[in-house]
A = this chain, B = another copy of it.
């Protein structure tokens, strides 16, 4: 498939991860349900997981509002939110190892069915990397667990700024030694792409309409002027000439 001229300068593709590459909701609900059954812990795991993800944006906003406290990596934010939520959901009897196991659930997320095949095709022609709010250890452990074939791990942690702060998109281009227009941001979230586009990156939207399960309220389709809109990662590879 021929790639349009406007995309012929793209050298690297960086990917949002949670929801775009991996199914955080299905993975965590399945993981905790199996683990809870084995440990004899009954809980509303679905409700907990949805509430945990609900705490994600507010927890990053706190980091943004309080630079004097220093940057906290996502593992730390996840752990803090979890401690509040297990109390709210009335889940008792969890020890330190249990809380660690649950927090590291984000390191064990599973990819969507097309993620690995699409990434493997794209890697032949492009540098492929994460550009996620997950910390480096989380993203690296996830890649090792799930077999994600990244060339390199780029993370909000490297810039001590969470997306959609400009430092993340521009920092990725800088570390890659590229102009922003030589880097394409791939995401299932229109707001991530809007921020990337504002700072000069190329953009690709891939819908993940079951990401939030019955709670999904947006991102059913592209609603910006993105450079590529693809059905899934295999379709993205085809549209990028791979």
Contact = CB atoms under 8 A, between A and B. Distances in A.
A interface, size bucket: 20 to 34
Given A143-B151, A144-B151, A151-B143, A136 B75 contact: no
Interface in A125-157: 127, 135-138, 140-141, 143-144, 150-153, 157
Interface in A177-198: 177-178
A158 interface: yes
Contact of A153 (B137, B153, B157, B178): B153
Contacts of A152: 136, 140, 150, 152-153
Contacts of A177: 75, 135-138, 141
Nearest to A178: B137
Interface of A: 75, 127, 135-138, 140-141, 143-144, 150-153, 157-158, 175-178
29 contacts: A75-B177, A127-B140, A127-B144, A135-B175, A135-B177, A136-B152, A136-B175, A136-B176, A136-B177, A137-B175, A137-B176, A137-B177, A137-B178, A138-B177, A140-B151, A140-B152, A140-B176, A141-B177, A143-B151, A144-B151, A150-B151, A150-B152, A151-B153, A152-B152, A152-B153, A153-B153, A157-B175, A158-B158, A158-B175
